[in-house]
Amino acid sequence: MSDKTILETFPNPATDRDYVIEHVSPEFTSMCPKTGQPDFGEVRVSYVADEVCVELKSLKFYFNAFRNEGIFYEAVTNRILDDLVAVLSPRKMEVVTQWKPRGGLSSVITASYEKPSA
């Protein structure tokens, strides 16, 4: 079961500067909640860190935890964004998932977040 507590962080080494960190996993898999068949995709996370950055190995374990979970494309994309925003509290973040064809149709879902100005 996926779980945001898997995610670990480390202090942003350059908090005085807005810079972009992108991590791409071409090896994402989850299950279709309707058919029980596996879905395969790529997840791309890019963000501007605030106080903390996500630790790479924990991000991999977080992604792996979706392996046997039934969840729709649209839902998993928004869940990853919500979980990472909750843990990292970034200045900005975008999550893009690209899915291999099902029934001849391939899909891309793109969701983003921007921290409200204080």
**What positions carry a catalytic annotation?**
32, 39
| 19 scored as a contact of a copy of itself (CB under 8 A) | yes
Q: How far is the CB of 50 from a copy of itself (least distance, A)?
A: 13
Query: Partners of 45 in the beta sheet?
Result: 23, 95
- How far is Cα 118 from Cα 59, in angstroms, rounded to an integer? 28
Q: Judged by CB under 8 A, does residue 64 bind a copy of itself? A: yes
According to CB under 8 A, which one of 51, 86, 110, 115 is a site residue for a copy of itself? 110
Cα dihedral across residues 9, 11, 15, 18: positive or negative: negative
The phi, psi pair for 71, rounded to 5°, reads -160, 140
Burial class (CB in 10 A: 0-12, 13-18, 19+), 97: buried
* Min CB(3)–a copy of itself separation in Å: 17
Residues that bind a copy of itself (CB under 8 A): 10, 12-14, 17, 19-27, 29, 37-38, 40, 46, 49, 53, 56-57, 59-60, 64, 67-68, 72-75, 77-78, 100-113
